[in-house]
Amino acid sequence: MTSDLSWMLEDIVQNVPRARHAVLLSADGLPRGATEDLDQKDVGTISAAMAGMQSLSRATAHFAGTAKDGQWSQTIIEFSHGWIFLIGAGQGAYLAAAAEPDVDMQQISFRMHRLVARLGNNLTSAPRVRADEGATGGAGEAARHEATSGSGFVLPALDRAIAEVRGARHAVLLGGDGLPLGATAGMPRDLADTISAAMTGIHAYSRVTAQFAGGVEDPSWRQTVIEFSHGWIFLIAAGDGAFLAAAAEHDCDIEEFTTRLHEVVPELTAQSPRVGGAADV
């Protein structure tokens, strides 16, 4: 681990109230620096999980929208006991930071991006990453396949929730086994399958990072949010091992969207007897 880079990461925890830790990692999951209060073993685990997280985040870009030049901006994980933020830090590098629940999110975001600019002398290239790099499939390809249809797969309650929010695009309900249980009308079935698999992995990586957000006996994951230059993706718990993944345009009212998603979850789970599985949120 490069000691000078580790020293630079201290800027976040020293200058942002309620910030806990920071880790700099390579795209292949190798740690390149960490704040001093993190155990070496934990740094390795966090780096590997964050590398997997960013790879899967980028692979979901076509779910957020069809922009050809869309860029992945950040991934945010919310727990009951804290937050984790992941952003690009130059060519093949990423910066992860953990904070307490009541951290000033604008302040920690500012500090993280300022640190990335300072790290530019050691890490070259712009901090953002093309979303289509490493993406599995694309919106154009997905659109050529048959859209979801037939009773039992299209979820009317989910359709209504999406229709009620300007800028909302589509959504899919998935079980703890990673299989789609239903989706909004018009969403290609192969896209539902691909997104369900990716989101299952994203949830698994999110859970691995729980100790990074803060050491508690019973950590509770709440949601994972992925921001692109062209849109948003939200993954939230839907009870009994199920999850709800939804996408929206970048100018969507995020607070309204997430509120509506949480409101529709009880209705979705009541309509889907297959909800359940081994996943423990």
The per-residue pLDDT string of the chain (281 residues; one tens digit each, 9 = 90 and over) reads: 444 578 889 999 999 999 999 999 999 999 999 998 888 888 999 999 999 999 999 889 989 887 777 789 999 999 999 999 999 998 889 999 999 999 999 999 999 999 999 887 666 544 444 455 444 444 343 333 444 544 468 999 999 999 999 999 999 999 888 899 999 998 888 889 999 999 999 999 998 888 888 877 777 899 999 999 999 999 999 887 899 999 999 999 999 999 999 999 998 877 665 554 444 44
* Alpha carbon separation from 213 to 91, 97, 183 (Å, rounded): 25, 8, 31
Residue 108 backbone phi and psi in degrees, to 5? -70, -35
38/11 Cα distance (integer angstroms): 15
pLDDT of residue 271: 67
pLDDT of residue 125: 42
pLDDT of residue 113: 94
Residue 66 backbone phi and psi in degrees, to 5? -105, 10
Q: C-alpha angle with apex 245: 241 to 248, nearest 5 degrees?
A: 160
Strand partners for 224: 77, 235
pLDDT of residue 4: 53
Eight-state DSSP code of residue 127: S
79/46 Cα distance (integer angstroms): 16
Specify whether the CB–CB gap between 87 and 113 falls below 8 A.
Answer: yes
pLDDT of residue 72: 92
pLDDT of residue 144: 34
Considering only CA atoms, which of 21, 5, 18, 12 is closest in space to residue 212?
A: 21
pLDDT of residue 198: 93
pLDDT of residue 272: 60
pLDDT of residue 22: 95
